Structure 1
Amino acid sequence: MRLVILTQDDPFYLARNIDYLLKKLPPYAEVVATVVFDVSPFGKRESFKDKIKKTYDIFGLPFFLRYGFKFVSSKLDSRNNVRKVLADRGIPLIQIEGNINKDENLEKIRAYKPDLLVSIAGNQIFKRKLLDVATYGCINLHTALLPKYRGLMPSFWVLKNGESHTGVSVFFVDEGIDSGPILVQNKLEIGGMSQAALIDVTKKMGMDAILESIDKIHSGKYELIENDAAQMTYFTFPTRNDVKEFLAAGKRFY
């Protein structure tokens, strides 16, 4: 099975998790190429200066300093570099220009004859022409129990809303947002975890769920779980007031 991974250049969590995924891939699966988007933690493209200001304004000084230090130290550690992890394994990087759905970009991906596209923090909207490039379409990891908590930063929202459990969902991508039929869904008790701990745990769970999904697609033996739009909740990026309520409820970022 020929896989093309669609991801982003996140310096915090993705490199080591993608490395874990690559180590655990079954013999019949091969990552033949990758697309690495520019990082966009706020769900849209912004200048680095705007990202810094927005982080400070929304999350406050202690968070800003802690994650600023973590960002710099991660950039200095090659183990946190997505592109280097891929390069070390000899996996080609597909250079795209602008939106991935442009015909010229689709041709570049199509040249690798993918059986399956695997989106891990892919941060562009995927259109039907892209989804049809691969034989089995595209799967995506979402670190929440869909159809609840579609959208951005589910780890923040499940904590803020006092949920006792969360989890991970791997679904077939359609042209909506986190709306496709679910292939694998695994549940997790939150307990007293901070947001940082929850992200760590769910990212690792997510890699295992992707591996489980690849195996099911390869075997052809699976039953899809409905991603019921009537039960969905959707969340965008938090505001400063949301962060104040998060902290007032005794929740922790780290």
Structure 2
Amino acid sequence: MKIVLITQDDPFYLARNLDYLLKKLPPFAQVVGTVVADVSPFGKRETFTQKARKTYSIFGGPFFLRYGLKFILSKLRRQNSVRYVLKKHGVPLIHLEGNINRPESLQKIAAYQPDLLISIAGNQIFKRPLIDLAPKGCLNLHTALLPKYRGLMPSFWVMKNDEKYTGVSVFFVDEGIDSGPILVQKKVEIGNRSQAGLIKYTKQLGMDAIVESVEKIHAGTYELIENDASQMTYFSFPTREDVNAFLAAGKTFY
């Protein structure tokens, strides 16, 4: 089974988790190429200065300094680079110019003859020609128990809303946002974790869920879980007021 990954150059969590995933994929699954977009933590393309200003204004000085330092250190440590991990595993980069849905982008991806596409922190909306490009479909990982908490930063929102449980969902992508049928879902007790601790745990759990999904697709025997739109909730990026409420409720970022 030939797989093309679609991800972004996240400096905080993705490199170690992609390394974990590439080590755990079964022998029949070969990652033949990866699209790596520029990091976009706010769900849309912004300049570095815009990202920095928004982080500071919403999350405050201590958060900004902590993650700013982590960002700098990640650039100095090659093992924290997504591209470094891919090179270590011999996975080629697929270089695209502009939107992933452009005909030229689709042609480049199709040249790798993927059987399956897997999006991990992909930061663009996929259109039908891309979704249908691989015969076995296109999977996406979302770190929440869909259909609840569709959208951005589910780890923040489940904690702010004092949920007792969250989880991960691997689903087949459709043209909506986190709306496709679910293939694998795993539940997690939040407990007293910080947001960083919750992200770290669910990211790795998500890699296990992807491996399980690949095995199910290879076997050809699986039952889909309905991603019931009537039960959905959707969250966008938090405001400063949301962050204040998060902290007032005794929740911690790290």
Q: Deviations over 1:146-192 (max 9, x none)?
A: 00000000000000000000000000000000000000000000000
Residue of structure 2 equivalent to 1:61: 61
Shift of 1:89: 1.7
Shift of 1:75: 1.3
Q: Distance in 2 between matches of 1:136 and 1:199?
A: 29
Residue of structure 1 equivalent to 2:167: 167
Q: Distance in 2 between matches of 1:30 and 1:88?
A: 15
One-letter amino acid of the structure 1 residue matched with residue 176 of structure 2: G
Shift of 1:137: 1.2
Shift of 1:206: 0.1
Residue of structure 1 equivalent to 2:217: 217
Q: Distance in 2 between matches of 1:127 and 1:143?
A: 22
Q: Distance in 1 between matches of 2:206 and 2:89?
A: 21
What's the TM-score, normalizing by structure 2? 0.99
Structure 1 segment 93-112 matched on structure 2, within 5 A? 93-112=93-112
Q: Distance in 2 between matches of 1:89 and 1:142?
A: 24
Shift of 1:62: 0.8
One-letter amino acid of the structure 2 residue matched with residue 93 of structure 1: L
Shift of 1:57: 0.2
One-letter amino acid of the structure 2 residue matched with residue 183 of structure 1: L
Query: SS at the partner of 1:155?
Result: helix
Shift of 1:40: 0.2
Shift of 1:87: 1.2
Residue of structure 1 equivalent to 2:192: 192
Shift of 1:128: 0.6
1:152 aligns with 2:144: no
Q: Distance in 2 between matches of 1:240 and 1:132?
A: 39
One-letter amino acid of the structure 1 residue matched with residue 137 of structure 2: G
Q: Structure 2: give runs of 5+ residues left out of the alignment.
A: none
Q: How many residues align?
A: 254
Per mean C-alpha deviation after superposition, the further-off stretch among 172-181 and 71-80 is: 71-80
Q: Deviations over 1:52-90 (max 9, x none)?
A: 100000000111111111111111111110011111222
Residue of structure 1 equivalent to 2:122: 122
Structure 1 segment 213-252 matched on structure 2, within 5 A? 213-252=213-252
Q: Distance in 2 between matches of 1:90 and 1:170?
A: 25
Q: Deviations over 1:16-60 (max 9, x none)?
A: 100000001101000000100110000001010011100000000
Q: Structure 1: give runs of 5+ residues left out of the alignment.
A: none
Query: SS at the partner of 2:97?
Result: coil
Q: Distance in 1 between matches of 2:35 and 2:144?
A: 24
Q: Distance in 1 between matches of 2:117 and 2:249?
A: 39
One-letter amino acid of the structure 1 residue matched with residue 231 of structure 2: Q
Residue of structure 1 equivalent to 2:45: 45
Shift of 1:131: 1.0
Q: Distance in 1 between matches of 2:102 and 2:236?
A: 26
Q: Percent identity?
A: 74
Query: SS at the partner of 1:101?
Result: coil
Shift of 1:104: 0.7
Q: Deviations over 1:186-216 (max 9, x none)?
A: 0000000000000000000000000000000
Q: How large is the RMSD of aligned CA atoms in angstroms?
A: 0.5
Q: Distance in 2 between matches of 1:88 and 1:216?
A: 27
Structure 1 segment 76-87 matched on structure 2, within 5 A? 76-87=76-87
Q: Distance in 2 between matches of 1:187 and 1:163?
A: 12
Residue of structure 1 equivalent to 2:4: 4
